[in-house]
Amino acid sequence: MGPIMDLTIFGFLVQDGLTTGAVYILLAVSLVMVFTVTRIVLVPQGEFVAFATLTLAGLERGDAPGLAWLLVAAGVLAFVMDLSAARRRGSRRGIAAAAVLFLAVPAVLAAVALYGIGASTPLAAKIAVTCAMVVALGPILYRVAFQPMAAASPLYLLIAAIALHFVLVGAGLYLFGPEGVRTSPLLDGSTEVLSMPVSVQTLLILAASLGLNLALFAFFGFTLQGKALRATAVNRRGAELVGVSADYAGQLTFALAAAIGALSGVLIGPVTTIYYDSGFLLGLKGFVGAIIGGLAAYPAAAVGALLVGLLEAFSSFWASAYKEVIVFTLIVPVLLWRSLAHVAVEEDHD
């Protein structure tokens, strides 16, 4: 048998599992959101996380952030695509908005990141710039990679998502280098919960995850924009006919997904070493959680993601060499159960 478990170790493992689980919840919720609205399995979800951590670490070290160049280049590409689409249509409508979203915003953010950040800049400002850049990248990536083929079947969209993932990982290696990074903790110190030492960073991650989930709940439940996204998920053509275009829904969803990824990256940076390609594994664990909810149900996806976090913590204690294997093996029984329990899911919609 492996090492001996006692109550202290158990407590630490639960704490560890909840911390990573809280981040997996965010990723799982984002994957469900993107899939239901756009039918895209967002394989590059983890890249948003990794890019945020790596950019923040770079800003802390005082390096010029490579993400700024990626953002500007992708933004120019997106704008050129909009421009040529407008020429085909024979109208200039929408070009001004595209110029702001794809040219002005990335340019301003890149300028701030490259020249506005010094050694004395407070951490909060660095975090804000990092998150803003990643969020701005979301709609741009949708415009470039998915909008031209938005009507395609989910399988084609999945293949495009995988391709985008490889492009982004490659860009990440070029822009950030192969070294792993950790960012400095947002809050130092530790406190006691149930006579167990708990780091404040852990509590912060839990609170932030809970807060973000509540914010998303409020957005989808109470705002017209949130309802428009849900409407797109329920009936794509109906949404189109009330003026919620697939382009609008897709870009808004990707901005949200990027925001969730960026915040996850900021949260996880101080507790996990992140490499340019760490995002994939993080996203995949969120995906395992999302699969438990059938890629369609939020609460189930959240519970699943929390389970993944706990399972990972405990398997890294008992069989650390197999911890990924154990987590991903979870997919098989879950898919079996879902395929037996939900035969007619597709026909239920309408």
* Interacting residues toward other proteins by CB under 8 A: 89-91, 93, 224, 227-228, 230-231, 234-245, 347, 349-350
* Nearer CB in complex with other proteins: 247/277: 247
Minimum CB–partner distance for residue 153 and other proteins (Å): 10
* Nearer CB in complex with other proteins: 14/234: 234
Minimum CB–partner distance for residue 148 and other proteins (Å): 15
* Nearer CB in complex with other proteins: 143/236: 236
Residue 343 dihedral angles phi and psi, to the nearest 5°: -70, -40
Minimum CB–partner distance for residue 350 and other proteins (Å): 5
* Nearer CB in complex with other proteins: 88/120: 88
* Nearer CB in complex with other proteins: 194/224: 224
* Nearer CB in complex with other proteins: 57/228: 228
Minimum CB–partner distance for residue 244 and other proteins (Å): 6
3-state secondary structure the chain: CCCCCCHHHHHHHHHHHHHHHHHHHHHHHHHHHHHHHHCCCCCCHHHHHHHHHHHHHHHHHCCCCCHHHHHHHHHHHHHHHHHHHHHHHCCCCCHHHHHHHHHHHHHHHHHHHHHHCCCCCCHHHHHHHHHHHHHHHHHHHHHHHHHHHCCCCHHHHHHHHHHHHHHHHHHHHHHHCCCCECCCCCCCCEEEECCEEEEHHHHHHHHHHHHHHHHHHHHHHHCHHHHHHHHHHHCHHHHHHCCCCHHHHHHHHHHHHHHHHHHHHHHHCCCCCECCCHHHHHHHHHHHHHHHCCCCCHHHHHHHHHHHHHHHHHHHHHCHHHHHHHHHHCHHHHHHHHHHHCCCHHHHCC
* Nearer CB in complex with other proteins: 61/89: 89
Minimum CB–partner distance for residue 227 and other proteins (Å): 6
Minimum CB–partner distance for residue 190 and other proteins (Å): 44
Minimum CB–partner distance for residue 346 and other proteins (Å): 8
Minimum CB–partner distance for residue 20 and other proteins (Å): 32
* Nearer CB in complex with other proteins: 72/249: 249
Cα 192 to Cα 4, 184, 197: the distances in Å are 24, 22, 5
